[in-house]
A = this chain, B = another copy of it.
Amino acid sequence: MVLVTSTRLTQTTACNNWGLKKEKVAEKMSNEHFLTMDNLSPAVKNVQYAVRGKVVIRAAEIEKELKNGVSKPFERVIRANIGDCHATGQKPITFLRQVMALCSYPALLDSKEFPEDAKAKARKMLAACAGGSVGSYTDSSGLEAVRKDIAEFIKRRDGGVEANPDNIFLTTGASAGIKIIMEMLLNGPGEKPSGFMIPIPQYPLYSATISEYSSENVGYYLDEDNNWGLDVKELERAYKESLNRCKPRAICIINPGNPTGQVLSLENMKEIIKWAYEKKLFILADEVYQDNVYAEGMKFHSFKKVAYELGEPYSKMEIASFYSTSKGFMGECGARAGYFEVVNMEPNVLAELKKLSSAQLCSSVLGQVCMGTVVDPPKPGEPSYELFIKEKNEVLSGLKEKGRLVTELLNKIEGVKCNPVQGAMYAFPQIKIPQRAIDHAKSLKIEPDMFYCLELIDQTGICVVPGSGFLQRPGTYHFRTTILPPVDQIKSLLAKFEKFHLNFLRQWS
């Protein structure tokens, strides 16, 4: 997980074959500032966030260059770096947007342009808002009416296991929820730092937050040769190895996986829960891709439900489960809406969580409206039902098809292998990088897959994220690409990619 910090790279003139902006900061200038790299928070300096890192910064630069008429071997940048559904052409779900528009401008409740069920939903939401306005603050954990609908949604999903609205917190995307739960689990000064068990590869929010909180990363490897499977023996190894440097407090599991796309089996989940119980770990269940399961015969199970069905003592385990409007079939990333449910949290601790979240006031109220509509969509017989189901199914079947296509095309390429995309929105292929390219990258003080991805964007305009940003087994190299672009774009993208890759192999062999 050794990465070059953006600043160091910016200052490395050797790297400017990628056109990275040289910021020659005069010594004198630095002395004039009160806040400098020398007295900036060291924890902040340690934070890395690859999904919006160096390759993405380069993407923005190239887009500006193209706009200014600079000649390139491609016409535009293809952003496959982030699960940003609408940006890659997915259309918003009509019903969600109708409700949001009605809540924004309630004069529209008199308009004939909106179906009655959208109006009814908007009226319910507005009635839940103080002063009947989405411009009011809500409870810090979100509108009670929305939390009740979320509780019903969870109960339906989990085959009748009860959910309590008081245990549900609406958040600014899932990320804000993950951060606040991790914050609760931080050890104090004089203690060993808190350890967070995270998968390798992982979603970079986890490693970034671990750095930000000066806590410790306890990485457990997923088994690439076994469809990114999670082996409890590997959890045990990682746990034991970490004990001299930290006190592990929680295990984070991303299911379906990001960036890996695997879906956990029921049996595997039971093993994980039993193991986590033995180690007294809090379970962080990152379940934001729960709607995105494509593999035949596979099904999403929530950690809450599986723990419940295992019976005591496992049914009493503390779990936080995260969800978001940004993924699934809706892809409403810009709404910055998410929720988490805490299960079995000690009541005094729950009160502390409520206090802590109160200092953030509340999440976006239109985001809450969006979430409330996602968990309580039109029902059969209601005017918007058919369109809603049609739009939802089109997105999900499209993603399934694109996941299959991406895997198939990648695996045809020499020196590339990719596990099936069982779920989520990404492929995470392993790529062969010749030793000479590895040595060259090291001479530039950057990771070999970063070098590879920077070459890729400069030669083709394809923007993907180097595997090192997600962490990976030493000596292996990957990148993450989304499966979001339309089918024709995916095909041309992968044809361009193949040409680049084979050329890269030739050039550096």
Contacts and interface: CB of A to CB of B under 8 A. Distances in A.
Contact of A113 (B111, B355, B360): B111
A134 interface: yes
Chain B CB within 10 A, most for which of A88, A89, A129, A188: A188
B41 A183 contact: yes
A2 interface: no
- Sort A-B residue pairs by CB-CB distance and give the 6 closest, nearest first: A334-B365, A87-B130, A101-B105, A86-B133, A52-B358, A42-B188
Given A44-B186, A49-B355, A100-B366, 10 more contacts: A10-B351, A25-B348, A40-B184, A52-B361, A100-B104, A137-B334, A183-B212, A212-B359, A333-B361, A336-B361
Nearest to A83: B137
Chain B CB within 10 A, most for which of A37, A281, A334, A344: A334
10 contacts: A35-B282, A35-B349, A36-B346, A47-B355, A86-B131, A86-B135, A107-B113, A108-B113, A135-B334, A336-B363
Contacts of A104: 97, 100-101, 104, 366
A48 B352 CA distance: 10
Interface residues of A, number: 112
Interface stretch (A26-34, A147-155, A393-401, A432-440): A26-34
Contacts of A51: 358
B88 A131 contact: yes
Chain B CB within 10 A, most for which of A7, A40, A249, A282: A40
Interface in A400-434: none
Nearest to A144: B60
A47 B358 CA distance: 10
Contacts of A187: 39, 41
Contacts of A365: 334-336
Chain B CB within 10 A, most for which of A82, A85, A317, A365: A365
A33 B344 contact: yes
Interface string A186-219: 1111000000000000001100110010100000
Q: How many copies does the complex hold?
A: 2
A189 B133 CA distance: 45
A231 B362 CA distance: 35
Given A135-B86, A175-B360, A364-B367, A345 B35 contact: yes
Contacts of A90: 131
A82 to B, nearest CB: 7
A282 B34 contact: yes
A334 B49 contact: no
Contact of A184 (B41, B313, B348): B41
Contacts of A92: 133, 135
Nearest to A108: B101
A331 interface: yes
Contacts of A30: 346
A351 to B, nearest CB: 6
Contacts of A45: 352
A202 to B, nearest CB: 13
A170 to B, nearest CB: 11
A173 to B, nearest CB: 6
A333 B333 CA distance: 20
A449 interface: no
A23 interface: yes
A185 interface: yes
Contacts of A345: 33, 35
A347 interface: yes
B133 A334 contact: yes
Nearest to A134: B334
A164 interface: no
Interface string A1-41: 00000110011000000000001010001101111110111
Contacts of A360: 172, 175-176
A209 B100 CA distance: 32
B349 A37 contact: yes
